Amino acid sequence: MHAPATQPRAQVKEAGVLAEFDTDEAIMEAATKVRDAGFTRWDCHTPFPVHGLDGAMGIRQTILPWLVLGAGLTGVCAACLMQWWMNAVDYQFVVSGKPMWSLPANVPIMFEVMVLFSGLTAFGAMFALNGLPLWYKPQFRSERFRRVTDDKFFVWVDARDPKYGEATAFLSGLGSNHVETVKEVIE
C-alpha cells in the first residue's frame, strides 16, 4: 500500500511517524496521552530539555550516577595505590624529610584522579547510555524535523511499536499541526 520500490534491490518502508507541535505545553499534553495510550517505542524530540517531560513520558531514572560513584571510588583507590607503589615501594627517595608514604601529600592527587575518572565516566556513560554517536536516525529524513533543534517539538512513534497501526490517527487527534510518516530506504 505504500510507495513502491524505485530500485530493484532497494526497498522503501515506513520507519515511523512524526507529529509536530509548537509549544512545550502542547508536547507535554501530547506526551501524557501517548504514554497513557500504551505506546512503548516512542520518543519526544525537543529543542531544549522540557521540565517535567520525563514524568509525562514515564522515563525511569538513569543509572548513570551509580556508574560515576563507582568510577570515583576506583579513581581514589587507583591514585592511592599508584602513589604508594611509585614513591614508597618502587622508587624511594627522601624529599624534605617527609616519610616515603605521606598520606597528606597524596590527598590532592587522589582527589584529582577521582574527579578525572568520575568526569570521564559521566561523559562516556552519557554517550553509551544514549547510544551516541549515532549519526543516522530515520527522523532526519524529514525536512520539517530540522527545526527540532530550533523551535519545534515532535512526538515520534517508531514503526516497530506494536500499536504502530493506530499511531497516525492517534497523533492527528492530539492537536498536532503536522503529522508525517517517515519512510526510509532499506537496501
Partner 1 sequence: MAGKQVIDVTTNRRHLEGLGTTGIGVGLVICVVGIILALIMNSVAGDGGHSEDHGDHSAATHEAGETHTDGHDKDAGHTDGHDGGEGAGGHGGGHGGHGYIDQYHWLHSYLMNFCYFTGIALAALFFVLLHHLAKAGWSTVVRRLAEGVAANIILMGLLSIPLLLWGDHVWLWLVEGAAEHDALLKSKEPFLNKTAWVVFTVAVFGIWSALVLVYRHFSIRQDVDGDVKHTHVLQKIAPPAMIFFALSITFFAFYYLMSLDAHWFSTIFGVLFFGGSLMAFMAFLTILCVILQKQGLLSTAITNDHYHDMGKLMFAFMVFWTYCAFSQYMLIWYGNIPEETGWFLLRQGGEQSIIPFTSDPTGWITFSLLFFVGHFFVPFFCILSRHVKRSKTALSVGAGWILFIHWVDMYYLVMPHVRSEHAITEQILIDVAFFLGIGGLFVAGTVFWLRQASLIAEKDPRLTESLAFENV
Partner 2 sequence: MTTSWTEEPLPHNTYEDPTHRPPLVTGGHTNHSITERVCSIVENPPTKAWYVAFAISFSVLGLLGLMIGYLVITGTGVWGVNNPVGWGYAIINFVFWVGIGHAGTLISAILFLCRQKWRTGINRAAEAMTIFAVICAGTFPGIHVGRAWFAYWMFPLPNQMEMWPNFRSPLLWDVFAVSTYFTISLLFWYMGMIPDLATLRDRAKHPLRRFAYGLLSIGWSGSNRQWHVYERAYLILAALATPLVLSVHSVVSFDFAVAQLPGWHTTILPPYFVAGAIFSGFAMVVTLLVPCRHYFNLKDIITMRHLENMNKVIMLTGMIVGYAYATEFFIAWYGGNKTETFAFINRAFGPYGWSYWIMVSCNVISPQIFWFKKARTNLVIMFIVSIFVNIGMWFERFVIVISSLANDFLPSSWGYYRPTMIDVGTFVGSFGLFFTLFLLFCRFLPFIAMAEVKATMSEQRHAAHRDGHDGTGAPAHGSDQSAKPAGAAV
Given the rule CB under 8 A, which residues bind partner 2?
A: 24, 31, 43-51, 53-54, 57, 59, 62, 64-65, 68, 82-83, 86-87, 90-91, 93, 95-96, 98, 102, 105-106, 108-109, 111-113, 115-116, 118-120, 122-123, 125-127, 129-130, 132-137, 139-140, 145-151, 154, 156
Query: What's the Cα-to-Cα distance from 129 to each of 22, 37, 63, 132, 167, rounded to whole Å?
Result: 29, 26, 9, 8, 27
Residue 55 interacts, among partner 2, partner 1, none and using kind-specific CB cut-offs from 5 to 8 Å, with partner 1
> Applying CB under 8 A, what is the total number of residues that bind partner 1?
15
Binder among 38, 55, 165, 175 for partner 1 (CB under 8 A)? 55
CB of 9 to partner 1, least distance (A): 48
Nearest CA to 45 out of 167, 160, 158 is that of: 158
121 within 8 A of 3, measured Cβ to Cβ: no
CB of 98 to partner 1, least distance (A): 8
Non-local CB neighbours of 4 within 8 Å, separated by 6+ positions: 12
161 within 8 A of 41, measured Cβ to Cβ: yes
Nine cell digits for residue 85: 607503589
Residue 28 interacts, among partner 2, partner 1, none and using kind-specific CB cut-offs from 5 to 8 Å, with partner 1
